[in-house]
Structure 1
Amino acid sequence: MNNKLGWLVGSILLSCSMSSQANVSITPFIGFTGGGSVEDENGRDYDIDPTINYAFAIETPLDLGRIGLFYSNQSSELQDLNNSSNIHYLQFQSSIYYPVSPGWQTYIGLGLGGSYADVDWVDDKYGFSASAFAGLEYEFSKNVALTAQIRWLGTVVDNDTSGACVLPTDGSSCVIKFETDWMNQFQSNIGVSFRF
């Protein structure tokens, strides 16, 4: 499934960049994602382990900001349960930039799209997602910039379905599900923007 999702994302991004007449900015990110939890049938909460995430954005200038696509992937496990979770986000995003001093600018933005939770304990793996982000960028040249951002990612999840788990304390079986209908995660990312 990961190959199909990667192929889909690549195709969308390539078609967007080829059809664009304006400048294109491609930004690979590395960052850290935390947040999200599940609960078992006894009401005990287990967090999704905070881990490194990989992301990229492809954008084009629009007025005082940019519009484009954002993709993020976090591979993690459920704390104490060793059940893997792999969460993908693909969003259309828009941001506005504010110059601070020569070479420096700040930005804020919003994103809307979808998420895919590659976990074996839910039936409905796709959901609506949204994000809000803010960051700081330093331009080394017209073609290269260093950027750092913080981002909130929220996604609608199916907490009506559940799956099996094994409790680490005594090895007994349990049933887990997402804790709420809406899962919140937070990212801190750093990346390099290449403009063509």
Structure 2
Amino acid sequence: MKRAGIMMMGLLLPLGQAWSAEATASTGWQMTPFFGYSSSIDFEKSGDVVQPVPLSASLDSLQGQSSGNWGLFISKEVDDPGMVELLYSHQSTRISPDQPDRLTVDMLHFAGALILSDNLMAPYIGAGIGVTRFAAYDSEVTPSMSLALGVLPRLTEHLALRAEVRGYGSLVNDSNQFLCNPDNCVFKVRGELVTQWQANIGLTLRF
């Protein structure tokens, strides 16, 4: 975990412009609304929960199903080839096996992207640190981090596409209650690193 944190901080430092010097008229701000597809999230049951009814004895894990997501980047170009940015992502999905409540996942990260080459596709690597909010029967806010690989091909001086694959890791607390049905609490998530992947595509406005 310490090594991953050092890697993220190293990626967040050398950030800067996403486009070449021909577009110097802009202020260097970007806004990118995006939509995408989120992988499933697997939750393992905490050993502290005592099953009160025989029918729930086999409930050792729950899964937030894969589904669509949407979100927003607000980015600022800096002196080196890349960006510093604020990232928000939202997902609402079903819980499997079926549960009465849905699971919502909201992520807010301070992030950055390092442009690897100023060619047509403008490939980049990114990293972020922030928080994730899981909400079903209750809610839990946990620290989280992300790593990304993407491309940022220009369409015009002020428009570009943005496509990326981003992996998230969220540290869930042992005392969490967000998957604990208050009428019959048979499941608490085991405290661990919960992971998820997203594939996102958006349209970037540069101004």
TM-score of the two chains, using structure 1 as the length reference: 0.77
Corresponding residue for 1:50? 66
How many Å separate the matches in 1 of 2:118 and 2:128? 23
Q: Which runs of 5+ in 2 are unaligned?
A: 1-25, 46-50, 52-56
Separation in structure 2 between the aligned mates of residue 164 and residue 79 of structure 1, nearest angstrom: 14
Corresponding residue number in structure 2 for 1:87: 105
Residue 99 of structure 1 aligns to a residue whose secondary structure is coil
Structure 1 pair 37–114 and aligned structure 2 pair: CA distance change class (3 A): same
What is the rounded CA distance, in whole Å, between the counterparts of 2:74 and 2:204 in structure 1?
Answer: 9
Whether the 8 Å contact between 2:83 and 2:114 is mirrored in structure 1 is yes
Distance 2:28 2:200 in 1: 23
Encode CA deviations 1:122-148: one digit per residue, 9 max, x unaligned: 5xx111110000101210111000111
- Stretches of structure 1 that go unaligned for 5 or more consecutive residues are 1-20, 167-172
CA distance in 2, matches of 1:74, 1:177: 21
Instruction: Please list the CA deviations of residues 138-180 of structure 1 after superposition, one character each: whole Å capped at 9, or x if unmatched.
Output: 10111000111000011112233441389xxxxxx66112244
The answer as to whether partners of 2:107 and 2:130 remain within 8 angstroms in 1 is yes
* Higher RCO, Cα 8 Å, sep 6+: 2
Larger Rg: 2
The answer to whether residue 158 in structure 2 is matched with residue 140 in structure 1 is no
Alpha carbons of structure 1 residues 174 and 100: separation in structure 2 relative to 1, 3 Å: same
1:52-83 Cα deviation digits (max 9, x unpaired): 00011010112111001000001012112233
For 1:4, the equivalent position in structure 2 comes to none
Partner of 2:35: 30
Specify which of 120, 124, 149 is matched with residue 164 of structure 2.
Answer: 149
Q: 1:165 to 1:80 in 2, by over 3 A?
A: farther
> Matched residues, percent identical?
24
Contact persistence 1:81–1:165 (CA under 8 A)? no
Q: Higher strand fraction: Structure 1 or Structure 2?
A: 1
CA distance in 2, matches of 1:191, 1:70: 13
Question: Which one-letter code corresponds to 1:54 in the other structure?
Answer: W
Whichever residue aligns with residue 121 of structure 2, its letter is: W
Residue aligned with 1:178, SS: coil
